[in-house]
Structure 1
Amino acid sequence: MNTYSALGLMSGTSLDGLDIAAVEFTNANNNWNYRLKTTETVTYPKSLLTRLQIAVDLSAEEHQILDVDFGKFIGECIYNFKTKHQIKVNFVCSHGHTSHHKPHQGVTKQLGDAASIYKICKIPVINNFRALDVSLGGQGAPLVPIGDQFLFAEYDFCLNLGGISNISYKQRGQRIAFDIGMANMPLNYLAGKFQKEYDKDGEIAFAGKVNTDLLALLNELDYYAQNPPKSLGIEWFQSHFRPVLDAFDCSLEDKMTTVIEHNSYQIFKVISEICKTKTGHKVLITGGGIKNPAFKSSLTKHLERCTEVIIPNKELVDYKEALIFAFMGVLRYRREQNVLASVTGAKRNSSSGDLYGFNS
């Protein structure tokens, strides 16, 4: 049996902090198991958060400086985490924070310079998990389906609600996954209009009602008619989704409620279509979106019409992505495939990620 101890780090499009998960993986006869040992989320300092929020619009020089500064921040977080919890790991697996994602142009960038991370934490680093797949003609996303395949195979669907909603499932012997649409990104944008980082306890959404005209406009966005593989980034929200919200004349509360209904409907539409041919499905839902009571109520009401909804313990809800990036790092260290062409549309599967600080 082989055992690996790794740190997985994830900064999602919701920008609610840096998720850190210390995970132990064991492999026996090609069967993988994991144990979440310690987890923590580090909130971003206001100055860093502001720069991450506008990263897509920075100049090349400003972007490079942010890449290094964010790497230093990650390194400091790792150093503090390992000191506080007295842990030892083989390596760090950092997703970083996506500032640009335009795979059709061959572009994807995750902030968090590996050299800067390593210089502070003194632990070998694996990062830049998306670039190779994009160079092979893939979407570079979603990446977590490899973990769904090996670690969460008992579920028919794995649904994650971060800034963006994405889904993973097995169909005709192949793992399929793609970004369905929006999740927390527009909700946090609207919450910002109330000088709030997010809609705590769904208070804003519960005060509104669904506007059917706005709902129809959102449901008509072209992305939803595209076939997978497909993926989204902040660019699509800024260029397609946000303009519809901003131009529509109704209360902010109604906009919040309507976006939640829109998000839930798009997710239901995808899952119900697959469920037509078989009953008894189970969907595992993780990510910050499911902690919003208004979103949870709307989504479960839709999904319970076609599948059993499984919401795991809070730790897995919060840290599943960080856990899987740790797993992706383990596979990369073993030189095994960790990105699936059936998911991304790339020319082939790949073993993706750059290694820094390892002995040659």
Structure 2
Amino acid sequence: MIKSEYKIIGVMSGTSLDGIDLVYASYKFFNSWDFEIIHSETLPYDNFWVEILKDLISLSEPELKQIDIEYTSYLAYKIKDFIIKNNISDIDAICSHGHTALHRPDKMLTYQIGNLPILASLLHHRVVCDFRVQDVKLGGQGAPLVPVGDDLLFSKFDYCLNLGGFANISTTFNKERIAYDICPVNIVLNAYVKQMGLDFDDKGNMASKGKINNELLKQLNELDFYKETHPKSLGLEWVKDFIFPLMDSFQLEVKDILRTFIEHIAIQISNELNNNKESSVLVTGGGVYNDFLFDSIKTYTNNAIIKPTKDIIEFKEALIFGFLGVLKLRGENNCLKSVTGAKYDHSSGVIFHA
């Protein structure tokens, strides 16, 4: 049934392995869409799950399928705890991204764990999930999927930039929404900081003490991906094939690697922003808290770089995956061919009933 208001739990787990982002939000439609985040929380992964999730691409198919079962049950447990803790009773659906195990759209392959039918039966609620698979089958990249939400929930900004495991951006160009991955961010920065026994570089303090290696910076900026036009997306496989071997070959101190890579991020992002000199850029994701990274981006562009409220910074992706589920329930398009390169706009995702 088409309604004007939906109460949804949105669930997101990103490549940076920060944890599971959960939002309980209300989405209302009266001529245009509006939303309210009612409850939100990030549940960090323990060491057991971090070790498993960071190396999913090395698992065999039987191993991956077993992990999928275990992760789906774990996800259900975490969502149920969130519901109980916040005394949530009014739920139209739980809409979950799952966690990306494999993403090779060039081979028409994408696999997110945590999207099995048992999620609905364990939670006793309707579930909308597995948003990427259909798009890849239609020749799309299966990513990024957030731009539909950017367009309908955050239309007052010229650009929406997310600094998560990867930097991705969306904007309207020639009356069409376009979006694509720009470059790796936390998936690389956090990997090197972990060598120092830290989960992340607090405010970018370590990077700020490093020196730029100009030759490494030059080779990073010359990687073929940056010459490609959109639609395009990145995955851990690309980072392991191209970024880590290149960075490691220079045998630099961690602080110098971080400093050089932040310069690389700032340059690549500014390349995408500087065609429009007076635009507003909404910046979200965990990378916003890296002050040194944030300031480095600002030095390369004259655009208005806007840091929103904490809820939006941390939970925008979970909020939008909840919204993708709403659109699926309404039978409305939540994947745009202008963004992913699919054959046509479509309503993606799978609905499981309790």
Give the unaligned 5+ runs of structure 2: none
* Distance of 1:186 and 1:47 partners within structure 2: 20
Specify the alignment match of 1:26 in structure 2.
28
* Distance of 1:283 and 1:217 partners within structure 2: 28
* Distance of 1:192 and 1:73 partners within structure 2: 25
**Once the two structures are superposed, what CA deviation does each residue of 1:158-194 show, in whole Å capped at 9, x if it has no partner?**
0001000000000110001000111111101111111
Is residue 2:346 matched to residue 1:350? yes
* Counterpart contact for 2:33–2:153, Cα < 8 Å: yes
TM-score (norm 1): 0.96
* Distance of 1:33 and 1:113 partners within structure 2: 27
Q: Which amino acid aligns with 2:185?
A: A
Specify the alignment match of 2:85 in structure 1.
84
Specify the alignment match of 2:130 in structure 1.
128
Residue correspondences, number: 351
* Counterpart contact for 2:332–2:347, Cα < 8 Å: yes
TM-score (norm 2): 0.97
Aligned-pair CA distance for 1:68: 1.0
Return 247-256 or 114-123, whichever deviates more. 114-123
Is residue 2:219 matched to residue 1:217? yes
Specify the alignment match of 1:149 in structure 2.
151
**Once the two structures are superposed, what CA deviation does each residue of 1:260-291 show, in whole Å capped at 9, x if it has no partner?**
0100100001111x31xxx4310000000111
Give the unaligned 5+ runs of structure 1: none
Alignment of 1:199-348 (within 5 A): 199-272=201-274, 274-275=275-276, 279-303=277-301, 305=302, 307-348=303-344
Alignment of 1:186-205 (within 5 A): 186-205=188-207
Identity %: 39
Return 315-324 or 46-55, whichever deviates more. 46-55
* Counterpart contact for 1:75–1:119, Cα < 8 Å: no
Let me know the Cα RMSD of the aligned residues.
1.1
* Distance of 1:329 and 1:283 partners within structure 2: 26
Aligned-pair CA distance for 1:356: 0.4
Is residue 2:169 matched to residue 1:167? yes
Q: Which amino acid aligns with 1:5?
A: K
* Distance of 2:246 and 2:131 partners within structure 1: 33
Return 55-64 or 195-204, whichever deviates more. 195-204
* Distance of 1:328 and 1:115 partners within structure 2: 18
